[in-house]
Amino acid sequence: MILIVDDTPENLISLKKVLERHNFEVDTAASGEEALKKVLKNEYVLIILDVQMPGMDGFEVAEAISGYSKAKETAIIFLSAVNTELKFITKGYSSGGLDYITKPVDMDILLLKVKTFYRIYEQSRKLIEIQNALLDEIEFRKQAERKKDEFISIASHELKTPLTSVKGYIQLLERNIDKGDIETVKKHLGKAQVQLEKLNELIADLLDISKIESGKLKFNKKHFVMDAMLDSVIEIINQSNPEFKIIREGKAELEIYADEMRIEQVVINFLTNAIKYSPGTSEVHIKLSADNDQIYLGVRDFGIGINEAQQKHVFDKFYRVEETAIHFQGLGIGLYISAEIIQRHGGEVGVKSILGEGSEFYFTLPLNQEKETD
Ligand code: ADP
């Protein structure tokens, strides 16, 4: 928008008309004081400013405007009657641009100048936009880099912990073998095996992430019965967590067409999380149901729960609930891998949870999808 400032009403009206005829949006002020008020409220591309006005003259107005951050990009064209005034023109204004036109106004020249200032204004706007977009992008890179560094440091720590344990057990084994204490040797071998299994799972997760990133996560789909798979998963979990009761609710004896190992991986991930994030409890429920189109599997715990805002993010890569992360070991990739597996089977993952009361992590898988998801 253009602001015309002139104390002579005829000048205001005639300038306004000409500019509007050329499709410019125009505002007017009859004094320097009124102009300053308007500049505070609105944004102008250009101000056409009469120099000689009673009260504040044009130069004083320009000088005052130069202090307004709102008018940083605003250009000014002075309308000056006398040539001697021109030496003051650069005084006090050094922002958007300055020019002058002597009275009586040559409309063609004025229009030319107005158009030029508009073009410069548009170009500088675009440059600022590009600059902001670039700054945003740099910040987003930087953030990704920070996340990655953080992940590498957590991952190395997580890998080092079981490795150090295994090293310790091997040293103990050496000593107990020398002593011929077979019972203790067996006990330490069992413990070393548990730690090695942890290492194996961590490395498998890390490999899965890199397969997902490179689009190389492949599925080996076959027909299988969900119920049978669940029985074997529960047995595995019971062995490592005998203190937890895993209660089955509902059945789905139908066959589904999917990668059994990968679906098993998701169920194990949900169950180990349900146990890990529920200290002081001893029950987890598995809910299984099916209708004509899909199968539903939910793992319900009575643990710490997740607030609503954080529920949206738990399936994101590297996401861990900040408030609880220090109390539980983890890398924040299990649910991301699970979501990828289920979505690539044409299903959905989700969570229902109440903070402090527990969570239900679930997935659905389409039935009769052999052709579409193959
Ligand atoms: P990890 O458990 O290794 O951190 P996941 O990807 O499995 O990674 O889970 C991501 C985050 O979601 C966890 O860090 C935790 O904050 C939250 N979470 C997952 N499962 C549960 C659950 N059953 N109850 C509460 N919070 C959970």
Residues 233 and 322 in one domain: yes
Query: Is 355 within a domain?
Result: yes
74 has pLDDT over 60: yes
265 and 349 share one domain: yes
User: Does 210 lie in the same domain as 168?
Assistant: yes
Counting atoms of ligand 1 from 1, which one is nearest the CA of 324?
Answer: 16
Note whether residue 127 is domain-resident: no
Separation between Cα atoms, residue 201 and residue 264, nearest integer Å: 14
Report the residue among 241, 277, 316, 360 best suited for mutation to probe ligand 1: largest number of ligand atoms under 8 A from its CB: 277
Peptide bond into 104 cis (omega under 30): yes
Mutational test site, ligand 1, from 317, 320, 322, 354, max ligand atoms within 8 Å of CB: 320
Distance CA(367)–CA(256), nearest Å, equals 6
CA of 333, closest atom in ligand 1 = 6
Q: Are residues 162 and 228 in the same domain?
A: no
Domain, as residue range, for 205 = 144-214
Q: Is residue 374 part of a domain?
A: no
332 CA to centre of ligand 1 in angstroms: 7
Residue 122 maps to a domain: no
Ligand 1 close to Cβ of residue 277 (< 6 A) = yes
Asked if 160 and 231 sit in the same domain, the reply is no
Question: Same domain for 279 and 351?
Answer: yes
CATH code assigned at 270? 3.30.565.10
Counting residues of the chain whose pLDDT is more than 70, the rounded percentage is 94
- Mind listing the pLDDT tens digit for each residue in 12-26? 999 999 999 999 999
Encode pLDDT of 308-336 as tens digits.
999 999 999 889 998 998 899 888 999 99
Instruction: Indicate whether 208 and 252 sit together in one domain.
Output: no
Distance CA 263, CA 74 (A): 62
- The atom of ligand 1 lying closest to the CA of 358 is 24
Statement: residue 372 has pLDDT above 80: no
Q: How many domains does the chain have?
A: 3
Tell me, yes or no, whether 126 lies in a domain: no
| Average predicted confidence (pLDDT) for the chain | 90
Does 359 contact ligand 1 (Cβ within 6 A)? yes
- The answer to whether residues 89 and 6 belong to one domain is yes
Atom of ligand 1 nearest to the CA of 320: 14
Answer whether residue 111 is part of any domain: no
Of 147, 157, 275, 314, which is best to mutate to test ligand 1, by the most ligand atoms within 8 angstroms of its C-beta?
A: 314
Q: 235 and 333 in one domain?
A: yes
How many Å apart are CA 65 and CA 68, to the nearest integer?
5
CA 159 from centre of chain: 28
From ligand 1's centre to the CA of 314, what distance in Å? 7
284 and 328 share a domain? yes
| pLDDT tens by residue, 219-273 | 999 999 998 899 999 999 998 899 999 999 988 788 899 999 999 999 999 999 9
How far apart, in whole angstroms, are the C-alpha atoms of residue 301 and residue 296?
16
From ligand 1's centre to the CA of 222, what distance in Å? 29
User: Encoding tokens for residue 45?
Assistant: 């591309």
Q: Report whether pLDDT(143) > 80.
A: yes
Residue type, 326: I
> In this structure, is residue 139 part of a structural domain?
no
Determine, yes or no, domain membership for 249. yes
Same domain, 68 and 180: no
Ligand 1 centroid from CA 248, angstroms: 22
The structure's pTM equals 0.66
Taking the centre of ligand 1 as the mean of its atom positions, its distance from the CA of residue 260, in whole angstroms, is: 23
Whether 83 shows a pLDDT value over 80: the answer reads: no
Q: What is the CATH number of the domain that holds 67?
A: 3.40.50.2300
